[in-house]
């Protein structure tokens, strides 16, 4: 009986030891944490709440009681600014939307200096857009639409750099005019196209009249050209009846000059 009790006690002791080991292992796993930082990420290491260093890609063990690691994605990203109603210098409201490409180049500045670098970037581009559009008139805005993005890039680059970001491009995605103004511009464009069509037609008619005048002058100087042109036209046509009168031109018979038909009738 005593031997059986010892065996049972040994079993319980082993089970208790295993439970203690499992508890210790689980506790250690909670205390010591492994963090994996991928190639497109950077890690910010804090010790007791104070920044220590920027961690490069790799695997790191840290004590969760004293150390924390915040992972930041540094891949290039796209920011879309929804349609903004902005007033031009001549007080005409237009709706403009933007597309911007950026990336995080300084994870420390992007995390420490601002609460949310994404929202700050959005606000910076929004205010820069209002500043640029408000300084030009509508006609200039329509003419320099592609240049607006370059101006935004230059104006916002230094401000965005303070956030730990780098702007790669800023492009005007859409530019929408008020409906009544859009109709007015469509009428102007239509009138311009109609004017160009009328001008081109007038040029064509002028060229045709000039050619006719030249042809008339040539025929006046050489009447035979009219007869040759008539014969050419008859030769090219088929199934038509053409009545021709003999020209008042002398002709040759057996090498001798004869009278014209007009002379013979006389």
pLDDT surpasses 50 at 263: no
* 0.75 exceeded by pTM: no
pLDDT one-digit tens code per residue, 35-50: 999 999 999 999 998 9
Q: What's the order of all strands across the beta sheet hosting 93-104?
A: 77-87, 93-104, 165-176
pLDDT surpasses 50 at 78: yes
Residue 18 and residue 86 in one domain = no
Task: Supply the pLDDT for residue 254.
Answer: 46
pLDDT one-digit tens code per residue, 234-262: 666 665 565 555 455 454 444 444 444 44
Question: Does some domain include residue 107?
Answer: yes
Q: Could you tell me where the DSSP H helices lie in 113-251?
A: 117-133, 138-143, 145-161, 179-221, 224-236
Of 146, 166, 181, the residue at which a domain comes to its end is 181
pLDDT surpasses 70 at 120: yes
Of 73, 98, 127, the residue at which a domain comes to its end is 73
63 versus 218: the higher-pLDDT residue is 63
Residue 175 and residue 82 in one domain = yes
Separation of alpha carbons 133 and 138, rounded Å:
9
Picking from 19-23, 124-128, 133-137, 256-260, which range would have the lowest pLDDT averaged per residue? 256-260
Residue 125 and residue 47 in one domain = no
Mean pLDDT of the chain: 79
Domain with 130, as residue range(s), is: 77-181
Residue 123 and residue 55 in one domain = no
Please give the structure tokens belonging to residue 24.
């210790």
Residue 34 and residue 93 in one domain = no
DSSP 20-66: HHHHHHHHHHHHEEEEEE-TTEEEEEEETTEEEEEEPSEEEEEETTT
Helix axis angle for 179-221 and 224-236, nearest 10°, is 120
Picking from 7-11, 171-175, 176-180, 185-189, which range would have the lowest pLDDT averaged per residue? 185-189
Separation of alpha carbons 33 and 35, rounded Å:
6
Separation of alpha carbons 192 and 202, rounded Å:
15
The count of domains in the chain is 2
């Amino acid at each position: 009986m005593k031997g059986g009790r010892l065996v049972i006690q040994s079993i319980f002791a082993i089970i208790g030891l295993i439970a203690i080991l499992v508890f210790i292992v689980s506790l250690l796993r909670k205390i010591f944490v492994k963090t994996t930082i991928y190639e497109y990420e950077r890690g910010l290491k804090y010790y007791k709440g104070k920044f220590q260093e920027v961690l490069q890609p790799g695997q790191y063990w840290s004590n969760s009681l004293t150390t924390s690691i915040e992972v930041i994605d540094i891949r290039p990203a796209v920011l879309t600014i929804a349609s903004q109603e902005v007033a031009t210098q001549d007080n005409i409201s237009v709706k403009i939307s933007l597309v911007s490409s950026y990336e995080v180049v300084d994870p420390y500045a992007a995390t420490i200096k601002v609460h949310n670098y994404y929202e700050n970037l959005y606000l910076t581009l929004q205010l820069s857009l209002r500043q640029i559009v408000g300084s030009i008139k509508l006609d200039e805005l329509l003419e320099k639409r592609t240049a607006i993005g370059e101006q935004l890039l230059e104006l916002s680059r230094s401000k965005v750099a303070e956030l730990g970001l780098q702007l790669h491009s800023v492009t005007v995605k859409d530019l929408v005019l008020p409906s009544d103004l859009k109709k007015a511009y469509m009428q102007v464009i239509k009138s311009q196209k109609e004017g160009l069509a009328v001008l081109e037609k007038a040029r064509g008619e002028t060229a045709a009249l000039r050619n006719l005048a030249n042809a008339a002058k040539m025929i006046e100087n050489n009447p035979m050209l009219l007869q040759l042109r008539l014969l050419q036209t008859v030769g090219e046509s088929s199934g038509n009846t053409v009545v021709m009168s003999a020209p008042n031109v002398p002709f040759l018979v057996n090498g001798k000059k004869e009278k014209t038909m007009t002379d013979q009738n006389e």
